[in-house]
Amino acid sequence: MAPSPPKTGPFPEEPGILEFLRICDGFYPPDAVNAPIEQQRAWYDALCARFDRALPQGLTFQDGMLFAPIRRYRPGDIRTGTVLLYLHGGGFVVGSLQSHHAICAEIADFAGAELVSVDYRLAPEHVWPAQTDDCFAVLKQLLGQGKKVVVIGDSAGGNLAAGLALRARDEGLAGITGQVLIYPALGGDLVSGSYTEMAEAPGLTTADVAYYRAILKAPADEPVAHPLLSADLSGLPPTYVTVAHFDPLRDDGRMYAERLRTAGADVTFREEPQMVHAWLRARHMSDGAREGFQALCQAVRRFATSSRAE
């Protein structure tokens, strides 16, 4: 049954994204965070499988270990030696190499670059900093091999990607040629701006964001876990930030982009006016999601083939 727009509160109008929400509600209940962890993961896996796609022609992939479990994607036509490092979303609780399989394959194919996806440890079995440590260990090995890297992440993965860029800068590691943050969770205050305006947005609520923060158990004053708390955003790589209008996390990305720009970074910010959280999965059924995905793929390709990457 299709979801009925709430009598009060935000709701998009684009038919494609409404159909996407209808399908999502059939697999992943709006109150999923109240269920046991294993049930949440089962629901999420089923939802991801529903939106699975055939991989681009000529692209191959292989699972392996690079400190953490990873999956490497190699397009049939590789046009750059830069590696894309993808960190999946899922609130640090759900998600895996498989959950973002087709998304990673399509980004790699569009950019003509090898992509490495990380199967970092999940909460609540593993609390912070296990997730950032796993991803940073993979990043350091890639950089240690002389690779240039573009870090990419959606939602919780966007948080991890931003944190990795901060950690790499602070440890003097060179080689990140760009960061792509897709509706990232960056540590906003939960009580103002989009956290209030979009508190009951479809797909993700402010209460859900609070739940995921609580289960991760990251220190409240830790900038790597909450990049908006960072006192210094200078020296960070070129950045592309895309957010969904109907998303409590919207202003996290907006404020981070503004602060990066003030600090002198090369920043592109894009707000998708009819999108909801997790719109990447709607890229083949929603015009807005299709356009947003095309734009972020172009940003990835630009960072992977820029003069900094060569």
Specify the DSSP class assigned to residue 180: E
Q: Is residue 193 part of a domain?
A: yes
Q: Which residues are catalytic?
A: 155, 247, 277
Q: Is residue 246 part of a domain?
A: yes
Q: Is residue 3 part of a domain?
A: no
Q: Is residue 284 part of a domain?
A: yes
Specify the DSSP class assigned to residue 193: T
Q: Is residue 310 over pLDDT 70?
A: no
Exposure string for 171-199, b = 16+ CB within 10 A, e = fewer: eebebbbbbbbbbbbbbbeeeebbbebbb
What CATH number is given to the structural domain containing 194? 3.40.50.1820
pTM: 0.95
Q: With bands split at pLDDT 50, 70 and 90, how would you rate the model's confidence at 308?
A: low
Q: With bands split at pLDDT 50, 70 and 90, how would you rate the model's confidence at 2?
A: very low
pLDDT tens digit string along 155-197? 999 999 999 999 999 999 999 999 999 999 999 999 999 999 9
Q: Is residue 4 part of a domain?
A: no
Average pLDDT, the chain: 95
The alpha carbons of the chain give a radius of gyration, in whole angstroms, of: 18
pLDDT tens digit string along 22-81? 999 999 998 999 999 999 999 999 999 999 999 999 999 999 999 999 999 999 999 999
Percentage of the chain exceeding pLDDT 90: 94
Q: Is residue 3 over pLDDT 70?
A: no
User: Domain total for the chain?
Assistant: 1
* Residue 4, amino acid: S
Q: Is residue 90 part of a domain?
A: yes
pLDDT tens digit string along 87-128? 999 999 999 999 999 999 999 999 999 999 999 999 999 999
Q: Is residue 8 part of a domain?
A: no
Domain that holds residue 38: 15-309
Q: Is residue 187 part of a domain?
A: yes
The answer to whether residues 265 and 236 touch, using CB atoms and an 8 Å cutoff, is yes
